[in-house]
Structure 1
Amino acid sequence: MSKATFAGGCFWCIEAAFSSLEGVNQAISGYCGGETDTPSYDAVCSGKTGHAEVVQIDFDDAIISYQDLLTIFFTLHDATQLNRQGNDIGTQYRSAIFYHDTEQQQQAQGYIDALTQDAVFDAPIVTQVTPIDTFHSAEDYHQGYYQQNPSQGYCSMVISPKFNKFKAKFGHKMKP
């Protein structure tokens, strides 16, 4: 199994998509990139710890490639919004790729360079590409949140439309 770690706004949104992919063993919501040794959801949401909400993905690269994960990541969020995704505002919602090795770093930066060269977005990409530091798993109630709470207000208003768009585009890569 290989690992990939992405921050693209609310971790509930991106975890729902990544966990549904063929070749993904698990997608874990958590925190990365901050200064506190024991971050909690409340502390991270305060914006004072420096952590981003992330999803760490364990995947079989013989089934789904890191390049595929990058493609999906950049369709799941707006990589041009600095420290926010829609109404979710703060550094904890920043766009970031926490690479696990030099190959991931090169692929991530190369992908961003290609998106920029092809003018895929109307504004500059602000996604940070930084080495992984300590990954902290989020509290248990955050794991699989969307799958367990699809009727909750935020889930139905924000995540469901994103997840439906994801399914329409990447349904062929989803688990049966």
Structure 2
Amino acid sequence: MRQKLDYRSVRTPFAIPDDLESVSRHPKARRPGEAMRYHHALCYGCGDDAVNGLHVTVTAGEGVASTATMQVRSWMEGGPGVIHGGILSAAFDEVMGTTALLIGVPVVTGHLEIDFMRPIPIESSLRFTAEVLGRDRRKIYTRAAAFVDGPETAAEPVATSRALFIGIDPREHFASHVANSQRPDEHQRWTKYSSP
């Protein structure tokens, strides 16, 4: 008899190495409880001025961990009454990429995967936990979990994610793309950023 598979039982072969170099909090990293912001005002993930942006808010935690929040708005609908999986992917990307700043490394996404456990209702509040697991030279490994805030749902994750980020120098990485931005003058200043 064949085992019935559904979307909750699929796993991918991406593995986080066992021999990662340990990481520690950068001396200039945001203190626990302080808001963290990596990007600019028009960033789709965290930007205050991004029309239909996610408006994810990331807060520094202890060590190399963070928490984050996001409101699931009606325009984020995928299936009837629930968030689109791509929206949740972008939120995880924002949360974990920003968390890497705790070790003083600006990053871009190399690989990101998600295990979706339950549908996430529209108009709910999401809470994320994230941490940097370690590094292998420029490769930064992270993991995160998302929870729907509420008395009956807050304890069990609705999704988990693992990712590989690549450490970059933003001045070099984005220099040839700044002219394409909606606000190139703002980005001229932003690409000078290279530490927490």
What TM-score, normalized by structure 1, do the two folds share?
Answer: 0.29
Q: Please identify which structure carries the higher helix content.
A: 1
Of structures 1 and 2, the one with the larger relative CO (CA 8 A, separation 6+) is: 1
Q: Please identify which structure carries the higher strand content.
A: 2
- Larger radius of gyration, structure 1 or 2? 2
What TM-score, normalized by structure 2, do the two folds share?
Answer: 0.27
